Structure 1
Amino acid sequence: MVIPVHDVNPVRRTPWVTYALLAANILVFLFTPGLAGSVTGEGSLAQLCHLQAFLDQYAAVPRELIHHRMPQVVPTGETGLGPQGPGCVVGPPGYDKSPELSVLTAMFLHGGWLHLLGNMLFLWIFGNNVEDRLGHVRFLLFYLVCGYAAAYVFALANSGSADPLIGASGAIAGVLGAYLVLYPRARVWVLVPFLIFLPLRLPAWIVLGLWFVLQAVYSSGGGVSQAGTVAYLAHVAGFVAGMLIAWPLRPGTPPPPEPRGALFGRRARPGW
């Protein structure tokens, strides 16, 4: 797996929506109970119970999305002593939850620092150019549509799951799909782990195409949605949605600048 660090594709206007999404995701994470103070996302039993209750209220749950009904009992955020020892107390929900709105709130929740930083890295690198092509308002709508498409496709495939689905990955996968359609020849600097991290400049169609293939392969083994695991099927659905939405804009998209300098250790030739 390659790690993108920068693309050679300047923008014409400031990507305010991308910046706002980055800030919103980071701020929500910092105020998510039990997570921001821990690098690993682990904590005390009280923190974990509080986090479990928070996610149950604000995360998207496939069973709720498909059947549109709340469970009879949910985590309360309190700890107690049960037959098998200390644990999280459950009880009737003390709140009203809209499954449809939970997809929106779930897009800004993350299960740990690595989950957050990985998503924000991809949004930072590829979001600005897609926003530049779509415009601010259309980009925001596009981002949300891809996030919803990813969540509902995953929920349809896992309609009996009560595990929370969180993260901006589905929406950001849509950004990657759009970038692949609009700027397939744009150059992306990546780090390739091979004994050490080797810097290479690769075309976007290789970087993002490889990413999509890996997600598709992983999803064929069955997606999972718990915090700390990866809903690969949601990534695939978001990516395809992004490609389909961006496809009509492809003919009018200005090409990225011609690459200059070394490529794969050689001087780039015209046409690369």
Structure 2
Amino acid sequence: MSFGDEHGYGGDSGRTDESFGGTGQTRTRLPDGRSGDMYGGPRRPARGSRSLITVVGVVVLLIAAIAFANRGGGDDEASGGGGKGASSGPGADPTTATGVKPVTGKNGAIPSGFAQTEQGAASAAANYAVALGSDGMFNAASRQDIIRATHDPATADGLLSSLDKAYSPNFFKNVGLNEDGSTPSGLTFVSRTMPVGTKVTDLSGDAATVEVWSTGLVGLAGEGSTKPVSSTWFTITEKLKWIGGDWKIASSSQSEGPTPVNGDNRASSADEIAKAVQGYGGFTYAR
């Protein structure tokens, strides 16, 4: 989701719509007394359409701004152990696989049935971030399905009401869509969130807090696009509650970065990006 800058839950809205926390660059004192960037330059070139909003961010940021702090499936074996209890302690998950199979259950199109463990909370948070940063958030019907599948029922109705107002004709226009949220003819709308890593910062009984470091894509691919697909980096913090045998989001917030230095890759053509989006699917994130 982006759980994109469209409005946190997608949209140009949420992420300030654009700033999700400071970028705080680290500077190193050079031998000759000059102060320079440790990477030799700005972290990223200035983007003229920064207000473009990264769908993924919008979704989450909007949710946070809305103050909604106050997205049942497989068996225990398939869901990573099923029973209660935490692992040795909160922290970043190692990059090596645990050997536990991904969940097999689904709530609509969203994975469900996560274990009430540190690993289960991390997997749930990552999958929910993907759903909340997806292009499905730009359609009223699918947005409702996503929110109800990932959130605490106590917050879902209020959040949906706020999101319906946020996804306004003017908002759609700002991100390059038609006023009804549909994609202009000949173009492909892109809104994806890809988790890079997770960190469980708190786990206690029926509650958990998980940070999901992610990168996202948002924009319109195709010849003549005035909102080309661009990438962004952000961290989503999800406060989860164990409800009805699964983890659900009680509240979430988003901050910018950590952002790596841009590489030397050649930017692909609009046609290449459109074909990639149409040809490559997403993943179920589980440890």
TM normalised by structure 2 equals: 0.25
Which structure has greater strand proportion?
2
Rg comparison, structure with higher value: 1
TM normalised by structure 1 equals: 0.26
Which structure has greater helix proportion?
1
